[in-house]
Structure 1
Amino acid sequence: MQASTVEQIAKVERKYEELQQQLRADAVASEATVAAREAEAVAMAAE
């Protein structure tokens, strides 16, 4: 019973870490999109 519980906890911890990594990746992608849009707006304003 304890081994099963420990395995379940480890599985949940791995899934949590995967989700955290995905959130970080999504945040970086969002920041890159915002930066690209800002750069585009600056370029358009300079025209």
Structure 2
Amino acid sequence: MMPMNHFDVFLSYHWRDHAQVEALARRLREQNLTVFLDRWYLTPGQSW
């Protein structure tokens, strides 16, 4: 896992939009941007 302090993009969104946001995050990754998306990096109960 990448250190939590180096991201090019932080995506904040409403849960209803998660499918569109995840598609956007994948497109940004394809452009070699490092994307923080909660669903990819946070697990329930994990210390933040």
Normalized against structure 2, the TM-score is what?
0.34
Report the TM-score when normalising by structure 1: 0.35
The structure with more strand, counted as a fraction of residues: 2
